[in-house]
Structure 1
Amino acid sequence: MYLHRKLETRDLEAICTFPQSEEELLFMSPRFVYPLTSDQIIGLAKDRFEPTVIIDKQTEKVVAYANIYKDEDGFWLGNVVVSPEYRGQGASQYLIQVMMDKAKNLLKLEQLKLVCHNTNSRGLAFYSKLGFKPYDLKSVFIGQTKLISILMSKELH
């Protein structure tokens, strides 16, 4: 049902429509400002590994996007977002599996980490189902709002 490929400029317009609110955009990245623009994606993607889109085989529409980034604590899954019309239809599971495969096979990583905010209960349940385990909490302020960032990791055997 789905294919994947590297992010292309022609994909940006579609990806910008995926976050449906400021909160959803926050889940994608606290660096982004609502509404999402192509320039924001390009600005962040230049420092990322494996920027990847998921395509619906039948319609050839871009339905999801993610990438991987590195900091002093390791490699992280970043900018995960799925089109509203494809949520709950296996696109997110396919996306995360593709990203884990790329992390393991292309980047030769043994572990992949991610951040999920406490208000994203759907995301927390989803990542847990895929084998990501919480290992730490961090308090963050986004404007005047305090969130708890739940740091999760998965061993890539």
Structure 2
Amino acid sequence: MYIHRPLAEEDLERICTFPQSAEELFYMSPRAKFPLTPEQILELRKGRYDPTVIVEESTGRVAAYANIYDAGEEVCWLGNVIVSPEYRGKGAAEALIRAMLRLAKENHGAKRLLLSCHNTNSRGLAFYHKHGFRPFDIRISTLDDGRRMITIQMEKETGH
């Protein structure tokens, strides 16, 4: 069983252990540099809303993290999504999505929650599709090393 609560300072070190590679960290935030540090999480929080952790109720261990950005009356964007390796495939990501959909609706009045998922993140794309997110656009960007990245933008209604 999972619960959600706002991010606390004592959560930062644990969240830094979640990305297992530079690629996983890139999926969480293209601006972050591996390995993730508490200072980077705090920097990534600027301009964000509802920084939220999912906690396993029986152990008190933080299992996942995300936040909201570009919040408006119609839509909010989901950002910085990351799940602890030990909780992947065990319902923590589902609990995180449910919590963030609820926060987008209740705290910001959003009718839709939007997100960006990189085309190389097949696990993320499959997860979001399974949970009702649908593609609505793509963005093509050039990375610092000159490679091109396709980012699929997806959406789901918050349940208004």
TM-score bucket of the superposed structures, by smaller chain: over 0.9
Distance across 1 between alignment mates of 2:125 and 2:113: 15
Summarize the alignment of residues 1-157 of structure 1 with structure 2, pairs less than 5 Å apart: 1-70=1-70, 74-144=75-145, 145-157=147-159
Deviates more, 1:73-82 or 1:19-28: 73-82
Amino acid at match of 1:88: G
Give the unaligned 5+ runs of structure 2.
none
Equivalent residue letter for 1:90: G
The SS at the match of 2:102 is: helix
Question: Which amino acid is the alignment partner of residue 3 of structure 2?
Answer: L
One-letter amino acid of the structure 1 residue matched with residue 82 of structure 2: V
Deviation at 1:74, TM superposition (A): 4.8
Separation in 1, partners of 2:141, 2:26: 12
CA distance in 2 between partners of 1:78 and 1:111 (Å): 14
Aligned-CA RMSD value: 1.5
Kept in 2, the 8 Å contact 1:30–1:142? The answer is no
* TM-score scaled by length of structure 2: 0.94
Q: SS of the residue aligned with 1:26?
A: helix
Provide the aligned length of Structure 1 versus Structure 2: 157
- SS of 2:80's equivalent in the other structure is strand
Give 1:143 deviation, angstroms. 2.0
Structure 1's unaligned 5+ residue stretches are none
88-97 or 67-76: which moved more? 67-76
Deviations 1:27-78 (A, max 9, x none): 0011111110101110121311100001111111111000000079952100
- Greater CA drift, 16-25 or 73-82: 73-82
Task: List structure 1 segments (4+ residues) > 3 angstroms apart after TM superposition.
Answer: 71-74
Normalising to structure 1: TM-score of the pair?
Answer: 0.95
Deviation at 1:19, TM superposition (A): 0.3
Q: Which amino acid aligns with 2:138?
A: L
Name the CA distance, whole Å, in 2 between partners of 1:71 and 1:43: 18
Contact kept? 2:49, 2:68, Cα under 8 Å: yes
Give identity over the alignment, percent: 54
